[in-house]
Amino acid sequence: MVLHYFRNERGAETLVGEMQKLGRRALAVQGDIGTKAGIQSIARAANEKLNMPDIIVINAVNQIHPWAYVTDASLEDYESQFRTCVMQTVLLAQTFVPTLQERKWGRVIGINSECTMQMLETQSAYVAGKRGMDGVLRVLAREVGRHGVTVNQVAPGWTLSQKDRENPVDDSSYCNSVPLGRRGTDQEVANVVAFLASDLSSFVHGAFVPVCGGNVMPAV
Q: Rounded to an integer, what is the distance from CA 142 to the centroid of its chain? A: 19
| 5 within some domain | no
Phi, psi of 206 (to 5 degrees): 75, 20
**What are the mean pLDDT values of the chain's consecutive 10-residue runs (220 residues total)?**
88 92 92 88 89 91 80 94 93 96 98 96 95 98 98 97 91 97 97 98 98 94
Q: pTM to 2 decimals? A: 0.94
| 138 within some domain | yes
| 217 within some domain | no
- Predicted pLDDT at 125: 94
| 207 within some domain | yes
Within 13 Å and on the Cβ side, how many CA atoms surround 12?
A: 15
What letter would DSSP give residue 147?
Answer: G
Domain extent, residue 182, equals 54-211
Taken in order 22, 24, 25, 30, is the CA torsion positive or negative?
negative
CATH number at residue 124: 3.40.50.720
| 22 within some domain | no
| 40 within some domain | no
| 216 within some domain | no
| 153 within some domain | yes
Domain count, the chain: 1
Question: Any idea which residues carry the catalytic annotation?
Answer: 126
